[in-house]
Amino acid sequence: MATGDRVDLLERYQHGRHRELGLTDEDVRRMYEVMLLARRLDERMWILNRTGQAPFAISGQGHEAAQVGAAWALDRERDWIYPYYRDVALVLVWGLTPRDLMLQLLGKAADPSSGGRQMPNHFSSRRLRIAPQSSVVGTQIPQAAGTALASKLEGTGAVTLVTFGEGATAQGDFHEGVNFAAIHRLPVIFFCENNGYAISVPAEKELSVPDVADRALGYGIPGVTVDGNDPFEVYRVVREAVERARAGEGPSLIEAKTYRLLAHSSDDDDSTYRPREEVEAWRQRDPLPRLAAYLKEHGLADDADLQALEEQVRQQVDDATEHAQAAPYPRAEHLLDHVTGP
């Protein structure tokens, strides 16, 4: 702790955890707004799937605090992200718009990720430094190490954040990517959103250690487990990892423990493998009402503000949906574009 930080510590503490961490009131309101937007967009995606308009839906509901907490610790103007399919809130922070998300969901020509070619939630944007994804679990991990190597060689100071589920940590790609980043002390943050399941397989049947963070032992890098439903704690540990990365001290492995509130995807029935009591218990820990309560408790918003925000978000979601519904599909003669290089 720097001397300056000591001076007003108690005062900041009085104002709430976020002030202790150096987040402004506006930061917290914005975090909540993005989380809410992600949630409502996600809900709409499922409706579009169930009404036969979207071929597939895969959900980030429950993961929003982990994603937003992590995103807030990075520099959106400079850093890279390698998201995975649950990262609706993360890519919103990174600059994809609700319209972008609905265009990609419905496979429309103007989808910025792939012009309507990829499955839903395979986000990317060259302009925003969001690297494209493969459906193959874990492949983004060594790729992120590669981007971090480039940043190191070019001396840009950029940090790469790569996200994945705990299931992905059982893949060989995870091992090769983390090992390589560890040896070369690359500026990359391996961020695991551990929701306890890889589709129907519970974590204790995928992982031989209790925490994904234990894996860090094998690479000689810091491994941290954090409550993924607490955006401030996630922010704190990711910020520390960012500081280490920018200081040339290499990668970190961060495990945010969370839960997906819905089935794995629109093609899954989770009632066959998750007891309803377990899902209900995690609903009680839903990060959204939790942060809403915090906003009210610390006088950052009242009921009327929250209501107004709901209304504003609903309009954004409606607008995005209508925009995407009206947008054209890709043209058949463009089918072979981007298949091979120019």
Partner 1 sequence: MGGGEGMAQANNPEPGRDGWTGWTPDPPPDLRDEPPERLLEYYRQMQVIRHFEERAAQAYTQGRIGGFLHLANGEEALAVGGLAALEPEDDLITHYRDHGVALARGSDPGRVMAELFGRADGVSGGRGGSMHLADAGRRFWGGHAIVGIHLPIAAGLALAHQYRKEPRVVLCIFGDGATNTGAFHEALNLAATWELPVIFLCQNNLYGMGTAIERAMRVTELHRRGAAYGIPSARINGMRLLEVRAAVASAARWAREGKGPVFLEALTYRYRGHSMADPELYRTKEELKAWRAWDPIQLFAQELLEAGVVTPEALRRADQEAEQVVEAAIAFAEQSPEPDPATLHHGVYRAPLAAALPAGGGNGVGAHLP
Ligand X SMILES: Cc1ncc(C[n+]2csc(CCOP(=O)(O)OP(=O)(O)O)c2C)c(N)n1
Residue 199, contacted partner among ligand X, partner 1, Mg ion, none, CB below 5-8 A by kind: ligand X
In angstroms, what is the minimal distance from the CB of 265 to ligand X?
8
- Write the burial class of residue 268 (CB in 10 Å: 0-12 exposed, 13-18 middle, 19+ buried): middle
Q: Which residue has the tokens 């499955």?
A: 119
**Interaction of residue 282 with partner 1, rule CB under 8 A:** no
Where would I find the beta strands (DSSP E) of 118-166? 160-165
Q: Residue 137 contacts by C-beta under 8 Å, 6 or more apart in sequence?
A: 164, 165, 167, 168, 171, 198
Range in contact with partner 1 (rule: CB under 8 A) among 13-21, 102-110, 150-158, 327-335: 13-21
Closest CA to 264 of 165, 198, 194: 198
- Name the residue among 142, 128, 155 with its Cα closest to residue 246: 155
User: How many beta carbons lie within 10 A of that of residue 249, not counting itself?
Assistant: 14
- Both tokens of 41, joined, read 């967009």
Binding characters for partner 1, 178-197, by CB under 8 A (x = yes): -x--xx--------------
Write each residue from 140 to 179 as x if it is in contact with partner 1 (CB under 8 A), else as -, in one continuous string. ------------------------------xxxxxxx--x
Using the rule CB under 6 A, which residue among 195, 225, 229, 266 binds ligand X? Answer: 195
Please say whether the beta carbons of 238 and 229 come within 8 A. no
Name which of partner 1, ligand X, Mg ion, none residue 209 binds, using a CB cut-off of 5 to 8 Å depending on partner kind: partner 1
196 versus 251: smaller Cβ distance to ligand X:
196
The CA-to-CA distance between both ends of the chain, in Å, stands at 52
Q: Cβ-closest residue to ligand X?
A: 165
Q: What CA–CA distance (Å, rounded) separates 306 from 1?
A: 35
Question: In angstroms, what is the minimal distance from the CB of 175 to partner 1?
Answer: 3
User: For residues 200-259, which are near partner 1 according to CB under 8 A?
Assistant: 204-211, 213-227, 230, 232-233, 236-237, 257
Is position 198 an interface residue for ligand X (rule: CB under 6 A)?
Answer: yes
Q: Which residues are catalytic?
A: 260, 264, 273
Residue 286 structure tokens: 């839903």
Residue 185, Cβ neighbours under 10 Å: how many?
17
Give the type of residue at 244: R
Question: In the stretch 81-100, what mask flags binding to ligand X with x, by CB under 6 A?
Answer: -----x--------------
Whole-angstrom CA distances from 129 to 31, 147, 187, 338 are 20, 10, 15, 19
- Residues 144-173, mask of contacts with ligand X (x by CB under 6 A): --------------------xxxxx-----
Indicate the SS3 state at residue 78: coil
Which residues would be at the binding site for ligand X (CB under 6 A)?
A: 86, 135-137, 164-168, 193, 195, 197-199, 264
Residues that bind partner 1 (CB under 8 A): 13, 17, 20, 170-176, 179, 182-183, 204-211, 213-227, 230, 232-233, 236-237, 257, 290-291, 294
